[in-house]
Structure 1
Amino acid sequence: RKHGLKLGLYYSLIDWSHPDYPNFTRTESRYNVTEDPERWQKFLKFDFDQLDELNKYKPDLYWFDGDWEQSAETWNAKGMSEFLRKANKNVIINSRIQGYGDYATPEQGVPVVRPEEKHWELCMTMNDSWGYQHADTNYKSPYILLRTFVDCLSMGGNMLLDIGPKEDGTIPEEQVAVLKEFGRWTKKHKEAIYDTRAGIPSEHFQGYTTLNEAGDVLYLYLPYKPNGPIEVKGLMNKVNRVWVVGDGEIIQSKVYNKNYWSEVPGNLYIDVPEHALDPMITVVAVLLDGPIKLYRGAGKVIESN
C-alpha cells in the first residue's frame, strides 16, 4: 500500500484437513452435511472466524476457491458476501462464492467467446502447475502467454498470470524470463492496454482488437508478421491518423472498394513497415473522426433502373 498497490487475499473455502469438513478425499467423506448440520456449522464458523481475522487487514479483494463442493445455501454465500462487504463496502470478490461475487474467473483455457459476465479474468499458469513443481518444465513461451493476454483484452477481460516460487522463495529462471518480456511489452504498449475495452467483432479484422474508452481509437494487435497491408472491414468512420504504438511512427493507410452508389464502406488497408514490427506482437492505433461505427451487413449489388 505504501507503493500504491492493492491488497488481495486468496482464501480456500474448503479445508480437507479440518476434522469438521465433510470431504476427506476424492472417495472418502467424514460425514453428510444434511445428516449432521451442527458439525457443518462448526466448520462454517471456522471459515467466518478466519475471514473476520483477515478483515482486520482491510483487503481490497478476496479471491475465493473451492466453492463447488457445497451449495450457496450450505456455504451461506449470501451471508458471507454481506459479512465481507460490511467490513469494507468497496471490497471486490471473485466469482467462486456461488454466485455472490463480482467477476468471473475462467481457468487455463481461453474463452472462445466472451463470457456473459460484465467483468471477467482468465487465470493462467506459465507451465501446467499453480505451485512450483521441479519436474514441470512444460513452460509456455512469452509469445504464447502474451498472445493469450491480448486475446483476453480483445474480449474485455483481464489475465491473472501465476507465479510459482521455489521453496526458498526464489522465482524459477523460466518464469523470470516471461515476466521480463511482459514488462518490456506492456511498458511499450501501455496505451493499448490500460483504460481500454473490448474491441470490434472478429469478422472485421484478422487479429485481436481493443478500443479506448471514448471509442475513437481502434487498437489492432498483430501476433504475426504481415505479408502485405493489414485490413479492417466495415469501418464507416473517416480515419484521421494511423501510428505504431510504442514508437509513434505515422504509417500509411488507404481505403479500397468504396463505391459512391453504396452505403457499404470500403476496406481499410494499412501498411506496417517491417522495421516497425515488435519481436512479439505489434500494435497499430487507428484514430477515427468519432466513436467507431461499423457496417454489419452482407453487402449490396448495383440496382439499375
Structure 2
Amino acid sequence: MAAYVFLLAAAGAGIGWAGEAGAPRQETPAQRDRRMAWWREARFGMFIHWGLYAIPAGRWKGQKVGGTGEWIMHTAKIPVAEYEPLQQQFNPVKFDAQQWVDIARRAGMKYLVITSKHHDGFCLFDSKLTDYDVMGTPFGRDILKELADACHRAGLRICWYYSIMDWHHPDYLPRRAWDPRPGVPADFNRYVEHLKGQVRELLTNYGKIGVLWFDGEWENTWTHQHGKMLYQYVRSLDPDIIVNNRVDKGRQGMAGLTAAGDFAGDFGTPEQEIPATGLPGVDWESCMTMNDTWGYKRDDHHWKSAETLIRNLIDIASKGGNYLLNVGPTAEGLIPEPSVERLTRIGQWMDTNGESIYGTSASPFRRLSWGRATAKPGKLYLHVFDWPAGPLVVPGLKNRVQRAYLLADRSRSLAVSATPSGISVVLPKEAPDRVATVVVLEIEGIPQIASP
C-alpha cells in the first residue's frame, strides 16, 4: 500500500489554522472587487480531469462501467488494493504541457483548473506527504509544475482542483462500504492535517495560483467549521487567491449557488447546468462537460456540438457568470481530438467576438426572443442566434444609439431607428455567423429598458 507522512493532528481538528500563516485581514467590498477582477474579466476557462482513471477509461475487468470516468473506483466498487496498481501503469508519454496550454489559449480560455487530486486520492504533483503521486509512477514528472510553468509563460492563470473526499487515504472517513479496511485504523483529524499540508504544497511550490477549486465536501465528516477554517488558511497563504464555495457546506446541490449564512467561498459552482436568470451581485461559474464524462471514457461519444458550446458560453456571460469547460485527457496524455475540434471552433468565434464576452456584465434585458446580450459601459452586445428576415428589434431600449455595427464588420455602420417598442436595427440579409452574430450598439448612458 502507498505510504503517507502522518502529520500531528491539531486538537479540535484545525482550530487556529489561519494563525499559523497569518490570518488575512477583513476585506472591504473594493478590496474584494480587486481580488476578483481578473476572474470576472476572464469569463472562460478550461477544466481538466486527469488521473489514474484515464487508464481503465470506463471499463473494469473487461466490463463497461456506468457513470463518469473519474468515479470508476466508486462505481465499480474497486478496493484500494486493486485500484492502487494503476499507479505503476501511469506513463503518459505524449503529455505536452505547452500543447495543452496552446489549445486553451487558442480557444480563448484565460485560465486552467486541473485536478491536482481527485476523489481516488492520486496526486498529479510531487507531494512530500505521500508516495501515491505522479513521482511514484513510471512517468516520474511533476505534471502540475510543467503546466504551471507553461501557463505563466503564456499569460494564463493556473488553478488547482483539490478533492476533500479521498477514497484512498487511510485516515479519511467515512470508508466505502465495499472497502472497509477494518485492519487499518483511521483518524479524520489527522487526515485534515494531511489535507492542509498538501494545500500548502500546492500554494507555495508553483508560483502564483489563481483559484483553489475544492470538491467532495458533501460527506458529513467535513463540517462548516472545517470549511471556514480551511478558507481562512488558504487566504492566509495567499491573500489574493480565489476559492470556490465547495470549501464549505453552503453549496445547494448541483445548482451550485451558496445558501444564505456565513458560508465560506468566493463564487458559486453550478454543475452541468446554467442558472435560468442572471444573479445580480453574485459571482458564479458553470462547470460543464463536452460529452457525458469528466474523466476520459473511451466509450463516451455523446459530444455536444460546437454550436451548443458557443451558445452556452454566450448564455452564461449574458447572465454574469463564467464558463469552465472540461476536457478529459487520455492515459497517453492527449486531449481527445473531438474536444480539440470543438475548442478550435470556439476559438475561431472568439477571435472575432471575444470583446462581447471578456469583461462584460449581464444583460439588462429580461428576455430576447432572438438571442442574448452582454454589456460594457457605453456598449450593448447583441448575440443573434435566430437571424431575422427583417430588422432586428431590440425591445424596450430607451437610450439613444450613437452607432451600430457587427463585430464581424466593424467598419460598416448599420441603420438604426427608434420605434414605440424599442430600437430597430437594419441587418445584412445573411448572418455572417449562423451560430451567433454579434451586433454592437454604442449607447449614451446606462442602459434604460422599459418594462414590457
TM bucket by the smaller chain? 0.7 to 0.9
Secondary structure of 1:10's counterpart equals: strand
Q: In structure 1, what is the equivalent of residue 339 of structure 2?
A: 175
What's the CA shift for 1:117?
A: 6.1
User: Larger radius of gyration, structure 1 or 2?
Assistant: 1
Mark the CA change 1:71 to 1:120 in structure 2 (over 3 Å): closer, same or farther.
Answer: farther
* Residues 205 and 232, structure 1, Cα contact 8 Å, conserved in 2: no
Q: 166, 187, 205: which is aligned to 1:39?
A: 187
Among 292, 303, 326, the alignment partner of 1:128 is 292
Distance in 1 (alpha carbons) for counterparts of 2:292 and 2:281: 26
* In structure 2, C-alpha distance between the alignment counterparts of 1:272 and 1:71, rounded to whole Å: 58
Higher percent of residues as helix: 2
Q: Distance in 2 between matches of 1:91 and 1:237?
A: 39
Question: Which amino acid in 1 is paired with 2:158?
Answer: L
Q: Report what 2:173 is aligned to.
A: 22
Deviation at 1:247, TM superposition (A): 1.9
Give the Cα separation in 1 of the matches to 2:225 and 2:298: 35
Q: CA-to-partner distance for each residue in 1:156-204, whole Å, 9 max, x for gaps?
A: 0110000111111112221111010111011100221112110123246
* 1:242-295, Cα deviation, whole Å (9 max, x unpaired): 1011321321222223xxxxxxxx421212213452132101011112221122
Unaligned runs of 5+ in 1: 258-265, 299-305
**Residues of 2 paired with 1:200 and 1:182: CA distance?**
25
Q: 2:415 aligns with which of 249, 252, 256?
A: 252
Amino acid at match of 1:272: L
Distance 1:204 1:182 in 2: 23
Q: State the alpha-carbon separation in 2 of the partners of residues 65 and 171 from structure 1.
A: 23
Q: Quote the offset at 1:25 in angstroms.
A: 2.7
When the two structures are aligned, how many residues end up with a matched partner? Answer: 282
Runs of 4+ in 1 over 3 A off after TM superposition: 26-31, 70-75, 203-206
User: Given the alignment, which residue of 210, 232, 237 partners 2:394?
Assistant: 232
Moved more, 52-61 or 193-202: 52-61
* Aligned with residue 67 of structure 1, among 213, 217, 227: 217
Contact 1:209 1:219 (8 Å CA) reproduced = yes
Query: Residues 16 and 169 (structure 1 numbering): CA distance in 2 closer, same or farther, change over 3 Å?
Result: same
Measure, in 1, the Cα distance between the counterparts of 2:214 and 2:243: 8
In 2 relative to 1, CA 186–199 (structure 1 residues): closer, same or farther, beyond 3 Å? same
Most deviating of 21-30 and 50-59 = 21-30
- What corresponds to 2:155 in structure 1? 4
- Residues 319, 362 of structure 2: 8 Å contact kept: yes
- Aligned mates of 1:225, 1:276 — CA distance in 2: 6
Name the SS for the 2:324 alignment partner. strand
In the superposition, relative to structure 1, how do residues 254 and 6 fare at CA in structure 2: closer, same or farther (>3 Å)? same
TM value normalised by structure 1: 0.86
Q: 1:17 to 1:102 in 2, by over 3 A?
A: same
Q: Closer, same or farther in 2 for the Cα pair 1:142/1:134, shift >3 Å?
A: same
Is 1:286 equivalent to 2:430 in the alignment?
no
Q: Aligned match of 2:239 in 53, 74, 89?
A: 89
CA distance in 2, matches of 1:129, 1:232: 38
Aligned partners of 2:423, 2:189: CA distance in 1, in Å? Answer: 63
CA deviations 1:79-124 (Å, max 9, x no partner) are 1111111111101111111131111110111211234761111101
Distance 1:186 1:26, change over 3 A: farther
Partner amino acid for 1:242?
A
SS of 1:268's partner is strand
Instruction: Please state whether the residue corresponding to 2:345 is helix, strand or coil.
Output: helix
Equivalent position amino acid for 2:440 in 1? A
CA contact (8 A) 1:22 1:30 kept: no
Q: TM-score, normalised by structure 2?
A: 0.59
Q: Distance in 1 between matches of 2:240 and 2:278?
A: 26
Give the Cα separation in 2 of the matches to 1:245 and 1:76.
48
In 2, the alpha carbon distance for the partners of 1:116 and 1:97 equals 23
| Identical columns (%) | 34
Which residue of the other structure, out of 298, 304, 313, is the alignment partner of 1:140?
Answer: 304
How well do the aligned residues superpose, as a CA RMSD in angstroms? 2.2
Contact 1:103 1:117 in 2 (8 A): no
- Which secondary structure state, in structure 1, belongs to the residue aligned with residue 417 of structure 2? strand
Contact 2:385/2:434 (8 A) holds in 1? no
SS at 2:223 equivalent: helix
